[in-house]
Amino acid sequence: MSEHNEVEVPMAGTDVLVVGSVNYDYIVTQDRLPRRGETFAAAGAKGAFGGKGANQAVQAARLGATVRFIGACGADGLGRQCLDNLRSQGVDCHMRPTEESSGLGIVHVVGEGDVYATIVEGANGAVDRGWIDENAQLFQDAGVVVIQNEIPAEANERTVELAAAAAVPVVFNAAPARPVAERVTRRCTWFVVNEDEASAYLGRDLGDVRDDTAMRRAVVDLQRFCRGVVLTLGSRGCYVADGTSVQFIEAVPTHAVDSTGAGDSFIGAFADALVNGSDPVAAAVDATRVASITVEGVGAQSSMPTREVLTSEVL
């Protein structure tokens, strides 16, 4: 047993089980952000389905995985649309009934695809320990469990406990960054963050993402949270650490239009590859390729590729 992780387990089933958020996104495209007190005219706006959990579930499903989802949708019209959308993508949904309004994402896409996002928790706050327990049977067929930080921490903690009891590895996309107990992260198999989230967890600036030495040092430092670490760096690529080595994976060159959902696309593809038997580095290579397609379109789920697209255009 590793000194970093409390548990190392083989995959038990074949499903991808996502426990997470469902949002409806309002995406505003503009040249820049407005200054304080300024009213700035945007180039365009559109609505799209989102939420980190939902995005990751959809990407895994589009790649052919059997995906189960535990979460909550709003009681309003947007919530019903979000639920219908997930089901239409082939995701088996287990949503907690709630009178809360839908979770929302306000996304500003600026310049060459840079993203500034604000989320409103809404119905996602209804996902608690009790709801995870009510769906405990789903862990028995899971090959991997995926969590993020857009639902209450107590739900994530209970998810990790049930996954450990069922001998199922956990991919923890610790985004957005928020305080989390190391006793929870150390029971996960993979801790996946981007450079901004890594900086928040380590409490320091990482330095230039092109500085290989600095990035490797950051990955090693992140291993205090979990033995397995993936540090994603957007157009630079990513680093994968499995406890014995740290490997760099270069990004696939692409014309980025909107980076919304790229990280979620990476996670969904990473989980799909793991559950299909890929080793972590190969899984990250595939995930990097999938994310490179996602950034070529506007929106998160609307830009995520299917297995057929991946096979014909990338692999």
How far apart CA 281 and CA 241 sit, in angstroms, is 9
3-state DSSP: the chain helix, strand, coil percent, rounded to 5? 35, 25, 40
- Identified catalytic residue from 15, 25, 264, 272: 264
114 and 260 in contact (C-beta within 8 Å)?
no
Phi/psi at 233 (5° precision) = -130, 30
How far apart CA 130 and CA 108 sit, in angstroms, is 35
SS3 (DSSP) at 274: helix
Q: Is 264 a catalytic residue?
A: yes
Closest CA to 222 of 243, 198, 246, 249: 198
Q: Quick count: other Cβ atoms within 10 Å of Cβ 310?
A: 18
To which H or E segment does residue 53 belong?
A: helix 52-62
How far apart CA 300 and CA 288 sit, in angstroms, is 15
Q: Please report, to the nearest 10 degrees, the dihedral formed by the alpha carbons of residues 242, 229, 289, 60 taken in order.
A: 100
Q: Quick count: other Cβ atoms within 10 Å of Cβ 39?
A: 5
**Which active-site residues does the annotation give?**
264
